[in-house]
Structure 1
Amino acid sequence: MRRSVSVSSGTVSSQTGMFGFMMVLYLSLRGLSRTTAEGGKVLSARRENSGTGGNRRPVLDKSPPLHGIIEHRKELSARRDPAVLPAPRTGSEKRQPMNKLTSHERLTRIFRGEEIDRPALKLWGASPDVGWQLHEAYGPVSALAAEMTDLFAGAGGYGLNPMFGSDGGTKVDHWKTETGDPLWLHCHTRIHTPKGDVEMVRRGSQIREPGYDMEHYVKDEEDIEKLLSIPYTSPEGMKKESYDEAAAHVGNRGIAMIDLPHAAYFVHQMMGSETLAYLSVDARELVDELISVYAKRIYDHVKRILETGVEHPIFGWCGPELFLPPLLSPRDFDDFVGKYDKPICDLIHEHGGYVWVHSHGQVRHFIERFIEMGVDVINPLEPEWMSNGDVDLDEVVGTFGGRIGLEGNIEIQEILQSSKERIAGLIDACVEAGWKSGRLILCPSAGYMEYPRPTEQYIENLLFYLRYGYEAVEKCRK
């Protein structure tokens, strides 16, 4: 049975009220009452500045007052029973001064869990070169970030499409149709598989706004079978030089990271939130099979990279956020994410490498799972006063100490909309709490250059974040 979703003005909704009610009832009876259409919340969280469509705006009035942020965290910390919690590492006031580290040394030590001179400062998306700019207003931000921050540089040449690999024999058609709005086009893709065609439609912006998936490849169980029938050829010719060149280019200013696809995330992209919620119940074995096939291809891809002899590589991926509540359950996270990500993490660690993972959403009760999985640094740890976060950094540090690197905790919505005074308070609170772990990377929750028409306030706040953030982390050295 096919269940369709209509998309209008960037919001996802069931076609009728009764349909939405029946969906909730259907999943509630199976112990997945939280797996509702609300699951789209995480996906839409990054559409807050999309101009057309995407009417969600960050809810900032849930946050504690600026003057009470640090006091609020201390109060929560004081309520914990220290007898049953691992003791956090000592704060900066009890540390012995150490020599100033380079950005490369600092970030490497954070991944390894070794002592550092101060927290790292990151602006997500910054690179050693100013290069291409989405808007000319970003130029000063990019230049300052290249100068002041601890950089993550992409290591190209390792891309993988888990669906095809390097196979070029599958016929794929692409075409575009008008939408009636000159700013948007419908971009169609049809894949001719051995078991029949699958098709997706994406609404694409003509002015670099975020796009929207209007129709996904997978609409029912039969479409999963079609995807599984697509021929796959393992990519060959992984070159060690690609990573070495990226690492040499960033040099002492930071580290190079190899981006990997994520099996569960890739499957979500094939079917969308609502269909995934249904099929995780109706066709769970098929969903698991599709994820397992893609995970095996990614595992083999990582193995080939490691066999080239790259030294201490860092791998990173995004995707676990889409398998957290409220869309899916902790059991789903274990079955579809943990089960397949852990072998990849183990393989990377066996070869002296490290793992960085990005997961939006309410991750507080999944941090132990990420640690057990083998994640070395978790991003972005959105704070509890935001509608899409639940992390009290002081509590997290008190609970987990330095068992995992902590990156983020500064919501991008705050930089988009808040006053400099508030941003300063948030930075101070984050650094004070996170520095006690000895593994903090101060960072916003999203890339800085994702808004085609940045406001003057946003640009000024980005520059302020860089300057004040640098001052805040440098104070930890004293």
Structure 2
Amino acid sequence: MTSRERLMATLRGDPVDRPAVSFYEIGGIPMDPSDPDPFNIYNDPSWQPLLSLAEEKTDLIRMRSPHMQPSPDNCHDEFFRSHREIVNGSWITRNELHICGRTLAEVIRRDPGIDTNWTIEHLLKSPEDLELYLQVPDEAFEWIPSVNNLIESEQEVGERGIVMVDTSDPLCNAAALFSLQDYLLVAFNRPDLFHRLLEKCSRALYPRIEKVSHEFPGRLWRIYGPEYATVPYLPPRLFEEYVERYTTPIVQAIQAHGGYARIHCHGRIRDVLPSISRMNADALDPIEPPAQGDISLREVREQYGDQMVLFGNIEVSDIENMDPAEFEAKARQSIHEGTAGTGRGFVLMPTASPYRRTITGRTLLNYLTLIRLIGA
């Protein structure tokens, strides 16, 4: 089977010649080792063997979001300003919201040796700030998606894999406006106000999902954000309120056009799996093993494997830090648990990707072990 055939058969629940294997972001998100930008960690020579391994040996799942352009009624620039500069060797981005005579600010830092962004000041810091944010007209968040880049990515990857449409859910967009502490305080103590925010985020997001799923039907999607409402952050009843209620319409819109909805949820998922099942998700990732997670892949396979394709179960910290012999034993266990008995399908995959500039020999060796064990 080609990688495209293998992945699509897995999503449908059809037999495959072997389990698919993905390195998640490696081979997933765009990485250009030829770009000399000092903030591009992937131009370090230590990354090159791993990038080549992903391109040549894994079942590629390109992670892409549609390009966006403002709607004719979009008034975003009337309320939001953004400024970016290098300070002490790091990119500093300051985003401002100007409303009702006040200025709310968000500050983001990006360092040259790490492929991540650090939010060092969040836009909303209190329920009063949220009240102001809710006064921003919905038109400021109206963006029209184009699927042209998704089609181009699919043509580029060919039979080596598939394109997965990447989207946040309303909870992700809402929670990210706050620090974790302030988000939890509002979500716990002001559910009335937080529901108004989720409704606002939904009004912006749902039409985009519908348009893309209609114009790019039958593809895999990843929906991220539900982990904001898992233990120890929020109890399962609030997962039902903040995820099941607002993310289910996304799942339904994707499936209405023949697509496959994959829920992305790190951490302790045991108590929210019933909600995810009720959402009728087609797939789930990354199913972190204990102690980062709180349920084994074997249990998830036994209880929900007939409904959902299971992605993941290889902790990225184990890839980076574990002795190769110990790592091989753990990877063998994941493959066994992910394929034992009956089930819709399994894709061997790390829970995330390394994000530092240097890839060690141990890390590369452990990635090679995944390829060898799966028979790719």
Specify if TM > 0.5: yes
Q: 1:426 aligns with which of 330, 338, 345?
A: 330
Matched residue, 1:401: 305
Show the 5 A alignment for 1:192-207: 192-194=98-100, 196-207=102-113
Relative to structure 1, the CA distance from residue 413 to residue 166 in structure 2 (aligned partners, 3 Å threshold; closer, same or farther) is farther
Cα shift at 1:142: 1.1
The equivalent residue for 1:136 is: 45
2:220–2:262 CA contact under 8 A, matched in 1: yes
1:299 maps to 2:199 = no
Determine whether 1:105 maps to 2:11.
no
Partner of 2:17: 117
* Residue 211 of structure 1, CA deviation: 3.9
Whole-angstrom distance in 2 between the partners of 1:318 and 1:409: 17
Matched residue type, 1:121: V
Q: Does the CA-based 8 Å contact 1:130-1:143 persist in structure 2?
A: no
Contact 2:79–2:97 (Cα < 8 Å) also in 1: yes
Structure 1 residue 118 displacement after superposition: 2.0
Q: Could you say which residue in structure 2 is the equivalent of 1:352?
A: 258
- For 1:457, the equivalent position in structure 2 comes to 362
TM-score of the two chains, using structure 1 as the length reference: 0.70
Q: In structure 1, which of residues 165, 168, 172 is the aligned counterpart of residue 81 of structure 2?
A: 172
| Change in 2 beyond 3 A, CA 1:415/1:191 | same
Matched residue, 1:150: 59
Residue type of the alignment partner of 2:27? S
Contact 2:312 2:351 in 1 (8 A): yes
Name the residue aligned to 1:235.
Answer: 143
Kept in 2: contact 1:423–1:465 (CA 8 A)? no
1:326 aligns with 2:326: no
Identical-residue share of aligned pairs (%):
24
Residue equivalent to 1:270:
177
Could you tell me how far 1:291 is from its partner in structure 2? 1.2
Is 1:365 the counterpart of 2:271 in the alignment? Answer: yes
Q: CA deviation at 1:247?
A: 1.6
Q: Could you say which residue in structure 2 is the equivalent of 1:127? A: 27
Question: TM (normalized to structure 2)?
Answer: 0.88
C-alpha displacement of 1:456: 2.9
Larger Rg, first or second structure (1 or 2): 1
Question: Residue by residue, what CA displacement relative to the aligned partner does 1:225-251 show, whole Å, maximum 9, x if unpaired?
Answer: 222222325223x44433322222212
**What is the CA deviation profile of residues 3-33 of structure 1, one whole-angstrom value per residue up to 9, with x for unaligned ones?**
xxxxxxxxxxxxxxxxxxxxxxxxxxxxxxx
Matched with 1:87 is: none
The one of 292, 296, 299 aligned to 1:392: 296
2:4–2:59 CA contact under 8 A, matched in 1: yes
Alignment match, 1:212: 118
Kept after mapping to 1: 8 A contact 2:65/2:167: no
Deviation at 1:405, TM superposition (A): 0.8
C-alpha change, 1:194 and 1:340, in structure 2 (3 Å) is: same
Q: For residues 212 and 51 of structure 2, what CA distance do their matches in structure 1 show?
A: 30
Post-superposition offset of 1:185:
6.4
Q: Note the C-alpha offset of 1:338.
A: 0.9
Query: CA offsets, 1:432-455, max 9 Å, x none?
Result: 11113341100111024x122333
Distance in 2 (alpha carbons) for counterparts of 1:165 and 1:423: 51
Unaligned regions of 5+ residues in structure 1, if any? 1-100
Pairwise CA distance, 1:425: 0.8
Tell me the distance in 2 between the aligned counterparts of 1:166 and 1:140: 46
Amino acid across the alignment from 2:14: E
Separation of aligned partners in 2, 1:372 and 1:195: 44
Number of residue pairs the alignment of both structures matches: 362
For residues 203 and 400 of structure 1, do their structure 2 counterparts lie closer, same or farther at Cα, with a shift above 3 Å needed? same
User: Higher relative CO (CA 8 A, sep ≥ 6), structure 1 or 2?
Assistant: 1
Counterpart Cα distance in 2 of 1:368 and 1:421: 36
Residue number among 287, 290, 297 corresponding to 2:197 in the alignment: 290
Structure 1 residue 209, shift from structure 2 partner: 5.5
Q: Structure 1, residues 373-395: CA drift from partner, whole Å, max 9, x if none?
A: 122111111112x2x21121122
- 2:319 aligned with 1:415, yes or no? yes
**Unmatched 5+ stretches in structure 2:** 34-41
Partner letter of residue 47 of structure 2?
A: Y
TM-aligned CA distance change 1:344 to 1:397, over 3 Å: same
Q: Deviations over 1:389-416 (max 9, x none)?
A: 1121122222223211111111111111
Please tell me the root mean square deviation across aligned C-alpha atoms, in Å: 2.6
- Distance in 2 (CA, whole Å) between partners of 1:175 and 1:242 is 26
Question: Which deviations, in whole Å up to 9, do the C-alpha atoms of 1:249-301 show, x marking residues without a partner?
Answer: 21211111111122111111101211111112332111111111112221111
CA contact (8 A) 2:19 2:374 kept: no
